Amino acid sequence: MIFVTGGAGFIGANFALDWLQEHDEPVVNIDKLTYAGNLESLVTLQEDSRHIFAHADIGDTVLIPELLAKYQPRAIINFAAESHVDRSIHSPEDFIQTNVVGTFNLLESVRAYWSKLDEQEKADFRFLHVSTDEVYGSLAKDDPAFTELHQYEPNSPYSASKAASDHLVRSYHHTYGLPVLTTNCSNNYGPYHFPEKLIPLMIVNALAGKSLPIYGDGQQIRDWLYVKDHCSAIRRVIEAGITGETYNVGGWNEKPNIEIVHTVCALLDELRPRDDKKSYTEQITFVTDRLGHDRRYAIDARKIERELGWKPAETFDTGIRKTVQWYLDNQEWVANVQSGAYRDWVETNYADRS
């Protein structure tokens, strides 16, 4: 039995789905079901007895210990986090409560559970904390990519809250001996991505005939990682990672945002042309940049390849085509996540940027 926290979110849901395709080992899926948690992403598991959903907050100091005692997991993969930089600028307190306080309370619950296991179970147990490359700060264009030894320099409330949670996880290993692992990933993309992030927002807006808002000059560079590659990396780290270690997970796909948008537009031009036969690139609009926008992230993923034999299976070309096709094939899922609260958020974030 494993626990997956945040398992109704984008990466967590993909992980739960992929895990149960690869393994028969059951999953207890814990999610608070905030705006980005969506049980529709898990609909194919509704009748699967290997998937047990628990509506819970990782910071719940009563329910989480009860779930641990009941199900006795051998591993916990912690995806649960507030994860959108723009939202962290508007509402930083939510990020502190979930990413810092929530992680602390989860660690305390897990430590109490782990301390009562027998010695072999203690040795075999794993707590894998899923984090981000944004904790490392921003790179200049010619700087070497982030390694696991790069100094933490978070620049947004989101990345600062994730950096704090990383430090807490590390401290529980060095102080209490809790067998932890940390992964720091680059920008994920793929199925079930909530349409506030760049790629799904561009797809959804393009099909709706809306503007495609690009921050600043669009030259912010990110490394792009197909979500199912990320899931396979986490499975490998759980299987063979050395406790106390950090593994950077990247896709070896550094690209500026404007190139990403042009690629999405070209695929939509091919797969779902506009009625007027013009390119979706005509909908691109440059808007005021967000506060403190980091210029470049880049992941050096050689450690996980060297030590654990993992590397991504998808190129950006293959991954982005699969992603665009998924959104075209799953319009009902997209429509259902675009609630009134989502529309209010988009209005709040983009209304004054034009």
Would you say the C-alpha torsion 226, 231, 236, 242 has a positive or negative sign? positive
Q: Which of 113, 136, 158, 192 is catalytic?
A: 158
* Distance separating alpha carbons of residues 6 and 42, to the nearest angstrom: 12
Q: Which of 82, 86, 133, 229 is catalytic?
A: 133
Smallest CA-to-CA distance from 212 within 162, 167, 257 is with 257
Tokens standing for residue 220? 């912010």
Q: How far is it, in rounded angstroms, from Cα 153 to Cα 163?
A: 9
Give dist(CA 13, CA 7) in Å, integer.
Answer: 5
| Separation CA 13–CA 6 (nearest Å) | 8
Confirm if 181 and 317 have CB atoms less than 8 A apart.
Answer: no
185, 230 in Cβ contact below 8 A?
Answer: yes
How is residue 44 written in tokens? 């194919």
Concerning whether 172 is annotated as a catalytic residue, the answer is: no
Q: What share of the chain is helix, strand, coil (3-state, %, to 5)?
A: 50, 15, 35
Closest by CA to 92, choosing from 247, 337, 291, is 291
Neighbours of 207 (CB within 10 A): 16
Q: Is 134 a catalytic residue?
A: yes
Question: Other CB atoms closer than 10 Å to residue 288's CB: what's the count?
Answer: 12
Q: Nearest 5°: phi and psi at 49?
A: -65, -15
Query: Residue for token digits 């990345």?
Result: 159
- Distance, CA of 160 to CA of 115 (rounded, Å): 30
Residue 195 has a CB neighbour count (10 Å cut-off) of: 18
Give the pair of three-digit tokens for residue 199: 């790629």
82, 88 in Cβ contact below 8 A?
A: yes
Q: What's the rounded Cα separation, in Å, for the pair 14 and 192?
A: 8
For this structure, is 245 an active site residue?
A: no
Catalytic one of 31, 57, 86, 134: 134
Active site residues: 133-134, 158
